[in-house]
Structure 1
Amino acid sequence: MKVAAIQMPTVEDKTENIRTAGKYIEKIKTESPDFVVLPEMFCCPYQTENFPVYAEKEGGPSWQAMSDYAREYQIYLIAGSMPEIDEAGNVFNTSYIFDRNGNQIGKHRKAHLFDINVKTGQYFKESDTLTPGNHATVFDTEFGKMGVMICYDIRFPEFARRMVLQGAKMIFVPAAFNMTTGPAHWELTFRARALDNQIYMLGCAPSRNVQAGYISWGHSIVTDPWGQVRNQLDEKEGILIEEIDLEREEQIREQLPLLKHRRIELY
């Protein structure tokens, strides 16, 4: 199967961001990707005060545009993430997943909110405006089950393991590591989760804008079940396209059966 990550810029105009996503999907249609992934908060600048302002209910204009793209291009679309507001006024960091017919087949609300205060000066608190989700997300496709998590979720090994135990063959991660966490942990974390779970991981980030209030590390990445980096972009706009060999995943799990060797009576 073929996957694509669109490392696009994000501007203040939501409509322009949606249009940019569509232009990139159009650009790669001759590649016939099966799965296309957009970045975390692809439709609004990644700042806590923006999330309630840009938030839409499920089924809103941004949701509809993503559904239309999935149907038009006959792809599974992991629509990055966008601010979602529910009937009670709670705002979530939400990734909608659409099938080739534009039907929503999954929805992940970021479960672990990015609340940090690093001594180098990095302070960010998503919980100022966001509510956490409360479940892991696995969805069905013609290739088998797949998982979705959002950015900070990847730092919790139990979360990825739960998806794998539910049958996920690959985990897609819309994300936006910053200029402190990115150089230190981006590649390392994707390799670790892939190795721990003998699974393919794909991280899709926004391109870097040094003028933004929150500066993305970029470097969209694919790691494989052997813990290797298969492909990685730099910080600029671009598209990562990779062929995924699920048979190799099964072979690795048979040759080094660490999932079968778990001592669940001990932990």
Structure 2
Amino acid sequence: MSFKVAAVQMCSGVDPAKNADDMARLVREAAAQGAIYIQTPEMTGALQRDRQALKAALRDEANDIVASTARGLAQELGVFIHIGSTAIDVGEGKMANRAFLFGPDGRQIATYDKIHMFDVDLDNGESWRESSAYQPGAAARVVDLPFAKLGFAICYDVRFPHLFRTEAMAGAEILTVPAAFTRQTGEAHWEILLRARAIENGAFLIAAAQAGLHEDGRETFGHSMVIDPWGKVLASAGGRGEAVVVAEIDIAMVHATRAKIPNLKNAREFALDKVSATAAGVAA
């Protein structure tokens, strides 16, 4: 059975209430195009460099405006809404970069906290230390939905293929990478990483992204996309501003692809031997 999925591309600002309104408008557009699963980007609620200002606007999970808006929309529209992530107050001065999945009855089905923290210094002078403010997640997550098994990840997680392999081995048929990729890293690696994760796991991959120049001064890469298990890009957006990307997928392709190239089934445990050339008698 085939069905439609959507990746909602945003350019979130610093005001969570406005971002929630923008999200609602784009989600409605996706639902109007027939999507039954709709994904939003990482940090849907706010992109805010000023950590103190972000923390001042934070709410816990029960009172977050993005989560409550998505819950109501899911029930109203009769769709599954995956909030790629938003910042959630978890106490003791820490935040979680947390994804939410809501069902057509408005019920919260699952959450996922970003595991891998983006602590890097880029060539263009940008420096990011997510671990200074965010509490990393500790568990991968696969959810069994009526139409597919869904695996979770967020942005920088895409550079850690063992996370996706773990989810695929647990049955995930759709992998997800909502993101706020920087323009510099996005131009170099975004599409190739996404296609690689889809190909090596024989799974569909859906990646809703932030795009454009944001109120806090950062610039994100965009190019939200849906990729099939063979690595083909089924639909994609541009690199600037809002967009709704919709594609029709059929989970039967996952099983057909994994039958053609059964690398998940053929995977084997192995040991690692480290050999020193000097110890083996080779002159240094």
Q: Same fold (TM over 0.5)?
A: yes
The 1:211/1:107 distance shift into structure 2, 3 A limit, reads closer
Please report how far the alpha carbon of residue 255 of structure 1 lies from its aligned counterpart in structure 2 after TM superposition.
1.4
Asked if 1:66 is matched to 2:74, the reply is no
Give the counterpart of 2:219 among 215, 225, 239.
215
Cross-structure match for 1:137: 141
Alignment of 1:54-203 (within 5 A): 54-62=57-65, 63-203=67-207
AA aligned to 2:154 is I
Please report how far the alpha carbon of residue 149 of structure 1 lies from its aligned counterpart in structure 2 after TM superposition.
0.7
| Partners of 2:14 and 2:48 within 8 A in 1 | no
Cross-structure match for 1:242: 247
Please report how far the alpha carbon of residue 80 of structure 1 lies from its aligned counterpart in structure 2 after TM superposition.
2.0
Structure 2 spans left out of the alignment, 5+ residues: 273-284
Aligned equivalents of 1:155 and 1:72: distance in 2? 36
Aligned equivalents of 2:215 and 2:62: distance in 1? 32
AA aligned to 1:258 is N
The 1:87/1:128 distance shift into structure 2, 3 A limit, reads closer
Give the counterpart of 2:210 among 206, 212, 217.
206
> What is the alpha-carbon root mean square deviation over aligned residues?
1.6
Asked if 1:261 is matched to 2:263, the reply is no
Alignment TM-score, normalising by the size of structure 1? 0.94
Moved over 4 A (4+): none
| Partners of 1:55 and 1:82 within 8 A in 2 | no
Please report how far the alpha carbon of residue 179 of structure 1 lies from its aligned counterpart in structure 2 after TM superposition.
1.3
Aligned equivalents of 1:46 and 1:77: distance in 2? 23
Please report how far the alpha carbon of residue 48 of structure 1 lies from its aligned counterpart in structure 2 after TM superposition.
6.1
Structure with higher Rg: it is: 2
AA aligned to 1:198 is G
AA aligned to 2:32 is T
Aligned equivalents of 1:31 and 1:200: distance in 2? 20
Aligned equivalents of 1:90 and 1:123: distance in 2? 20
Alignment TM-score, normalising by the size of structure 2? 0.89
Aligned equivalents of 1:61 and 1:110: distance in 2? 17
Q: Give 3-state SS (helix, strand or coil) of 2:76's partner.
A: helix
AA aligned to 1:157 is P
Aligned equivalents of 1:79 and 1:89: distance in 2? 23
Instruction: Using the TM superposition, name which of 221-230 and 25-34 deviates more.
Output: 25-34
| Partners of 1:54 and 1:83 within 8 A in 2 | no
Deviations 1:92-121 (A, max 9, x none): 100111111111111010100111112332
Instruction: Report % sequence identity.
Output: 31
Q: Give 3-state SS (helix, strand or coil) of 2:177's partner.
A: strand
Aligned equivalents of 1:197 and 1:51: distance in 2? 36
